[in-house]
Each structure stands twice: as structure tokens, then as C-alpha cells.
Chains A and B, each alone.
Chain A
């Protein structure tokens, strides 16, 4: 059974810092991994999708990496801004099965 863990559960940093969010999964036989952000009371916004054959994916100030063999992914946020404050979730996809989500990291960027 696939389990996904995100550590830390909460993170607070000053504006302008670079930061890394972590996601680990127990079954390395994944098809892809997706990072989302969620603002309070809202739906999930897709940030990045990494296929199992890729090592990293970039979008603006965001960079996600994937190490399938070790069961780990990281989301790097450069030059953080208050608008980046949200909960960040990772989800793994094992082909034609449900997405399995981590519990999320609640990120607060302090002005």
C-alpha cells in the first residue's frame, strides 16, 4: 500500500528566503508525481507534474525534483513571497489507480 509523507507539517520563513518542501513515498513504482497548492477553503491548484522518467521540472520560481529509487521528491521555492503562503500537497500516481496524497505542508511567508 502506497503511503506518502510530507515533512514538516508546517513551516514559517521570512520573505525572500529560498526553501525546500519534502515528500516521500513508500512504493517507488510510480507513474508520476504531482505538486499542488491549496489556499484556505479553496480547491487544489496544480503546480508541477513530474513523470517517472524525469528528474526535475521547473515553473517560474518553482523547481520540483524526483528520485524514484529513494522514494523522494522535493519542491524548491526561490525568493519566497507572502503570496506563496498556502498548504502544499504532493500526490503520487501509480498508473490507473487513485492519486495518493500526503498530508501537506502548511507554509507561511512572513513579510
Chain B
């Protein structure tokens, strides 16, 4: 059974650009959540989608957005990139909102 797949694994972008990250959940999982991880802040929750609806949202500016498709795959978009957006972005999938979470390997975003 395939795990959670995140693409791309690494990205280098310039300040002001925008970026889209993709997450394919485990087959049958309807929930996808996104996290930002930095050495100073630890794991910060971005948002969670369930059956194409955003169910939970963290305290991030509107430059961070996401969506989920009918096949449960999810994308997150960051517009007008800032140096502080450099981080490891992780996504996790769950069957339901209260079941075990499984994480992908992450996308390492570097903003220069």
C-alpha cells in the first residue's frame, strides 16, 4: 500500500514568486492536513481538508491557501514568497478526522 506522497521533494524559489505543493494521501483517506516545520517554531498547523472542505485552519496569513480535489489529493499554494517561508512542508492523511495520521516525506522549500 503506497504511503503519503509529496511532490516535489525540494524547491528553490525567489522572493515574491508563488509556489504550489502537492500531496497525494493514502488510498481511502479522506482527510489531508498541512504543516510547516522550521527549527525555531516547530510544527505549525496550516489547514486540514476533509472531502474537499476545509475543516480546520491555522494562524497563517492569506498568502497560504489550499484545496482538495475529489480524489482526495491536495495542493497548497503560497503566494508572494518571503524569506521566512523557507521551511519543511509536511502533509498528513487520515481516514477520518479522528483516526491515525500518516505523514509524507515533506517538501523542502528554500526562498532566496
Contacts and interface: CB of A to CB of B under 8 A. Distances in A.
Contacts of A91: 101
15 contacts: A32-B98, A42-B106, A43-B90, A43-B106, A44-B90, A46-B100, A93-B98, A93-B101, A96-B98, A97-B56, A98-B45, A99-B101, A101-B42, A101-B43, A104-B42
B104 A43 contact: yes
Nearest to B44: A101
B38 to A, nearest CB: 12
A96 B33 CA distance: 12
A46 B55 CA distance: 23
B104 A98 contact: no
Question: Which secondary structure dominates where chain B touches chain A?
Answer: strand
B88 A41 contact: yes
B105 interface: yes
Interface of B: 4, 6, 33, 42-43, 45, 48, 55-56, 58, 88, 90, 92, 97-98, 100-106, 108
Given A43-B90, A91-B101, A98 B56 contact: yes
A97 B98 CA distance: 8
Nearest to B3: A43
**Residue in B58, B90, B103, B104 with the greatest tally of chain A CB atoms within 10 Å:** B103
Nearest to B42: A103
Interface in A19-51: 31-32, 34, 36, 41-46, 49
B43 A95 contact: no
Interface residues of A, number: 22
Given A98-B45, A98-B56, A99-B45, A46 B106 contact: no
B97 A96 contact: yes
Nearest to A36: B103
B33 A99 contact: yes
Contact of A96 (B45, B55, B92, B104): B55
A43 B48 contact: no
Contacts of A98: 33, 45, 48, 56, 58
